[in-house]
Amino acid sequence: MNTSTITIDVVLDPQKIPTEINWNASQSNSDEKQAAKAMVVAFWDGQEKAAMRIDLWTKEMMVDEMADFYYQNFMGLADAFERATHNGELVEDIKKFAKNFYTKFKDLQQKEMQKGL
């Protein structure tokens, strides 16, 4: 049985706000750590029937990047749900939500920009 180790290093400022997120995996082709501005890690506790999550982002993460990040995560979750359940109807609902979320974000961002002019 193969084992892969994923290491995540988070550098914090004095207020314990992440300034850097770096990660690597033992099975990766790269020996160097990969930088990230944000991360979401989720685990399922089958005994407690509860999700455990770690959501972190650095000070440099911009709001528009966060919207992109969430949109891509929603779409990725939809794809994973499809692979796990083959429930196309629910997958389409998730993707529809993701697209609506992203469109709404862009519309709100546009309105904010127009206010600033």
pLDDT digits (tens, 9 = 90+) for 77-114: 999 999 999 999 999 999 999 999 999 999 999 998 88
**Which two tokens mark 45?**
């506790």
Predicted pLDDT of residue 117? 64
Averaged pLDDT for residues 60-64:
96
Radius of gyration (C-alpha) of the chain in whole angstroms = 18
CA 52 to chain centre: 14
Sequence-distant (6+) residues with CB within 8 A of 39 are 8, 21, 23, 54, 55, 56, 57
- How far is the C-alpha of 45 from the C-alpha of 76, rounded, in Å? 21
pLDDT digits (tens, 9 = 90+) for 28-53: 887 789 999 999 999 999 999 999 99
